[in-house]
Structure formats: structure tokens, C-alpha cells
A and B are shown apart, each in its own frame.
Chain A
Amino acid sequence: MTALRFDPIRLPPECEELRKEVRAFLAEEIAAGTFNPFQPLREDADAREFSRRVGERGWIGMTWPKKYGGHERSFLERYVVTEEMRVANAPVRRFFVADRQSGPILLRYAPEHIKMDILPRICRGELCFAIGMSEPNSGSDLFAAKTRATKTEGGWLINGTKIWTTSAHMADYMIAIFRTSPATKENRRHGLTQFLVNMKTPGIKVNPIGQITGQKEFNEVVFTDAFVPDDHQLGEIDGAWKQATSELAYERSGPERFLETYYVLTELVRAVGSDPDTRSAEGIGRLVAQLHTMRRMSVSVAGMLQAGKEPVVEASIVKDIGTVWEQQLPHRVRDLAAFVEADAGNRETLENQLTFAIRTAPKLTIQGGTTEVLRGIIARGLGLR
């Protein structure tokens, strides 16, 4: 069992300049009415233009090669942009998946002409990506996926259904895994291949699914003889199982994994005022201590990514702890807000936010890898499996 390390990485001075720029940008956007930071539930109608403006500032594809439209900046700088956007509740959904994981996959596995076409457009904030992994009969058991890719002239025909596909209704592209061969006795993970799918392809039907928060963020995506050309294959045929690991380190450990309900903590502090009672003070102190600790762990993982490592176990720990915390946060805040004056200035805002956050909470330990799967990964890292 290798010892787990979370070195006390500090963000370098250039990050603080960048942070000021991001805050100033967000303040302008808020003043211009692009989004309301106090309202985490929104339609994202203007996010298309917001995404382009973020791209213009150079904040999408920050760590990618300049050759592809990226900016060759560090993971730590990207970390700063991500956390400031999350805390402000900025409408990042349109470009976030492309920036966080789809782009990096294309960088590693796509043919050159695809990279030259798509990556610069992601960096300009022009593209929205979805991830096609889960199916009606397989979510956590990723390698039980059944949606078939059947070989045909010049490419593949896709038949089957993906589900819980966030943003598929507005995505330009999807990166999906399809079954190109049956699994083998020796390796049950064999047989899946990763592909880039153009969402305008005929034969793709996207059906929105209503969520208990009132949003319709995810979808069922039905493929009927949808054609994917050969040059849209990403990585080895039947070899997607080898490609999943690094993707998970990217996906699992960022600040978005503990900041999704953070806004209720800010509003609680506002609601209790500058001279809180002992109960409120203690509750806030504990929550801030937990938040600070998770952030230090998350920054440490970003530092490890910057150093070229693949901290799969550490990233899984951060996501496990982070998502459980952000899930419990609205309930803790609700408890602490119980004795706040009914006429506190932001009481209505806090109530609305708590309603949304509590409805959101169940998904937090499910999306992007369930707690149970994460703990299995950690256990493997401890040498138990």
C-alpha cells in the first residue's frame, strides 16, 4: 500500500493576478445582467454568448497546446478560474465538460485533423460537449454498455440508447463509448471503443428527462443506424478500458466537486449577521474548517496533475469527501438557519436557495462516479482488491 500524500501546495503569485481578472470579469457580467449569482437555478439562455466571452479571455482550454488554440497555462491557474466561476454561480455548463474532459480526450486520442478542427472551437467557447457513457441498464457498471457500433463502409453504424446524458439537448458533439466487440472471458472490460459523435448526425434522437429540481439537464439519446466515420474513433478499438483512468483523475477532483451547493453557506453567514450566537458561530466555524481542508486537498491534487501524475486514489478521496460534504451542507445550513430572524434581509434568498440545494443534493453522490464506486477505487488503492 503506497502512502497517500496531499502536499501543502500553494497557488503561485501569478494565480492571484488571474483571480483578480476573473473576479472583475464576473462582476462586469453580473452588472450587465448575464446571470444572477444568487440564483443557482436558471435557464442558461444567455450562456452561449457568455461562453464565447470566457473563451475570448483565454479561460477555456487553458492548459492545452497553443497549436490547438490552448494557452499552455498551468493546472493551478485553471483551478483558480474554475473555483471563482463556481463560487459566483456563473453559467459554465455549456463549456465545462468540453474543457474538463472532452478536450483532454481529443488531445490524447483524436487524429490530428480532428484536433485542429475541434479544439480551437472549444477554446473559443463555441462548442458544447456531452458524455455518452451510461445506458438504461448500465451506469456504475460502465463496461456492461451495450450500445453497438457495427462496422460499415468508411465507419460505424450506432444502434442503442444512452441515458442521463447531461447537455445532450444542446451539445454539438458527444464523446461516447460503444460496443465494438463482445467482452472476453479473460477481460470483461474488453470490447468498448470511444468515439466522437457529431450530434447533427441523422439517426440521433434526444429526449429530455425532467429532474426533481425542475431542470431538464439530462437526456435519453437514442441511436438508430447513426453513422460515425472511421476518423472519429478515439484510441484503440476495444480498448476504451485503458483510457478511462486518466479521465477520471481529471473529472474527479476539481473544486466543482465540493462547491456545487456552496452558495447556501455564504447566505447563512449573511443571515446570522456580524455578531452571531454561539450555536451559529460554532456551526459556521466547523463548516469553514471542513471547506478549507477539502480545498487544500483539491489544490494538492491539482498540483499533482500539474506535475504530470495520475493521482487516481487521491482524486477519488477528494470527490468522496467533497460530494458528501456538499450534499450535507444544505441540511447543516438549514439547521443553523432555524433560529435566524424571520426578517433577516436575505431570508427569502436563503430559503429559495435551500429549496434548490436540497432538491439537488441526492444527485451529488451519484453523478460522475457514485460514492460506492469511488470507495471501491480507494480500496483497490489500499491493496484490498
Chain B
Amino acid sequence: MAATEGRDRVARGRNDDRAGQPEGPDHSEHGTLSGRARGVPFARPAKHIAVVAHGPDGVSIALVETTRLRIDAGLNLANDPSDTVTFDNVAPSACRPAPDGFDATTVMLMGGVVRGLQIAGALDQLLAISVRYAGERVAFEKPIGKFQAVQHNLARLAGESAAASAAATSAADAIAHADAFDEAVFLEAVSAKIRCAEAAEKGAAIAHQVHGAIGFTTEHILHRFSLRALAWRDDFGVESHWAVELGKRVAARGADELWPLVASR
């Protein structure tokens, strides 16, 4: 989805609407793009942006040079670049029709799983850092990791880290083996979105609690993981939006189809 080499970076134009409705650029009759995307990570240093566009002929995927775009710089919760990109009748460098069944929702689901994996990685680090700190920091004449309250908090952090990892890797595995983005893939991807977001909230809070004041500083590395884990929840649609979508699909299938869907995974 995003290349990671220096400035020659392809960033994906994201949704205009924080609730996750795909309202990205439209592909007008003259083959140009118009619209606005908010919360685009690292748009500023990128040379190109890949965009999912809607037009009279359906869904297209376009590559656009950023010099043709208006980019308003912003920062997200973690102080990482999160920019607003405006497309004003911009001609793309390349444009192709999207494959069958591939649309903005597909990209959102995949992006959500990527963020889930990132959150799981961050929680892994938060756990390792917190366990190490608890073994080193002495209070009341012993390492704070010897106190049961701290041990139990770290056990809960381990649980949240495990849950995020399990959810995200399961979803990634499902997508890797799927022929189409069907109900099962939807369940996997959205579950990862939701569960990783919950884990980010609980896990970040525990990691900070274990660290006390020092974890609250910019100098300490903790925030690079905790605030990012929290910020990544906001990308590719917030979990409340996806929970509503999943709940609607579950209800539409009916009560007796819920277990068969869950058990199919």
C-alpha cells in the first residue's frame, strides 16, 4: 500500500469522511480527478499518491504526482504527518480501471488490517519495554515488577498484545488466501480493526501506568509506540463505523447464521 523508500513514496489518498465513507476523488469525463482526501499519512514527502477514484465508468486506480496537488500539512495524534490533499481537475500520470470487486471499501478493509498489524507490533514493543522497565525500576526497595498489581497489569497488557496479534494475523492470513472480499473476509478484517483498536487503548494505558512520569516525556521512547498505536486506530475508518457495518450484516443474516459464520473461520 505504501512504499517506504525515502521521498519517492506512494501514499494512498484516504477518505474525506472520518466515518469511513469512500468519498475520494471522482474521475470526471475529461479524465481528471477532483475531490479531497483527509488524513493522508506522509503526503508531504511523497512524490506520488495512489488514489481510488469513482467515475461514470466505475472505479479506477490512478497515480498522481504530488506537485499537481494542494497539500495542507497536518499532524495526527502521534505527531506524524497527516495531510489534507485537494485534487482540482488534476490529470493523473496513470489510470486504470480497478479489478472486478475492488473498490474503496476493499482498500479501506486492507488498510485497516495493515494498521491492525502495526498496532500489534507496537503493543509487542510496549510489552517488552514495560516488562524491562518493571524489572529495572526500583521502588520500596524492590523492582516494581515484584508487586502483584504491576504483574497483573503487565499480564493484561500481554493479553491485549496477544489479542491484537491474533486478530491481525488471522485477518492478514484470510486476505492472503481469499478469492474475493466476501462475508468471511469482512468479518476477519473488521474484527481486526475493532479488536486492535480496543487493544491499543487498553495496552497503551497500561504501558504508561507502569512507567509512571517518565513515560509521559517526549524524551522517553514510549510515546512513539503508544501514541502511534492510538493514532493508527483513526486510519481507514474508525472502529465504530466498522462495528455498525458488521452488526448490520450479522443482523441481516439472522441469529441462527451468526455461529456458522464465526465457526467458518
The chain B residue sitting closest to A19, CB to CB, is: B263
Chain B residues near A317: list those with CB within 8 A. Answer: 158-159, 162
- The interface residues of chain B lying within 8 Å CB-to-CB of A4 are 158, 161-162, 165
A275 at the interface (CB under 8 A from B): yes
Distance of A302 Cα from B244 Cα, bound (Å): 31
Question: Given A4-B162, A285-B194, A285-B250, A375 and B155 touching (CB < 8 A)?
Answer: yes
Could you say which of A3, A275, A284, A376 contacts B250, with CB atoms under 8 Å apart? Answer: A284
Q: Please judge, given known A-B contacts A275-B252, A289-B195, whether A8 and B173 are in contact too, CB under 8 Å.
A: yes
Closest to A7 in B: B169
- On whether the beta carbons of A289 and B262 are closer than 8 Å, the reply is no
Residues from 156 to 214 in B contacting A, C-beta threshold 8 Å: 156, 158-159, 161-163, 165-167, 169-170, 172-174, 187-188, 190-191, 193-195, 198
Q: Does A76 contact B (CB under 8 A)?
A: no
Separation of A293 and B188 alpha carbons in the complex (Å): 9
Residues on the B chain within 8 Å of A267, using CB: 255
B77 within 8 A of A: no
Of B26-34, B97-105, B127-135, which binds chain A? B127-135
Q: Per-residue CB proximity of A342-379 to B under 8 Å, as 1/0?
A: 00000000000000000000000000000010111011
**Chain A residues within 8 Å of B109, by CB:** none
Q: Are B124 and A280 in contact (CB under 8 A)?
A: no
Interface pair A274/B155, CB less than 8 Å apart: no
A182 within 8 A of B: no
B residues less than 8 Å from A6 (CB atoms):
162, 165-166, 169
CB distance from B109 to the nearest CB of A (A): 13
- Seen from chain B, the residues whose Cβ lies within 8 Å of a Cβ on chain A are 124, 127-128, 131, 134-135, 145-146, 148, 150-152, 154-156, 158-159, 161-163, 165-167, 169-170, 172-174, 187-188, 190-191, 193-195, 198, 239-240, 242-248, 250-252, 254-256, 258-259, 262-263, 265
Q: Which residues of A contact B (CB under 8 A)?
A: 1, 3-8, 10, 19, 83-84, 87, 265-267, 269-270, 272-276, 278, 280-286, 288-297, 300, 313-314, 317, 320-321, 372, 374-376, 378-379, 381-385
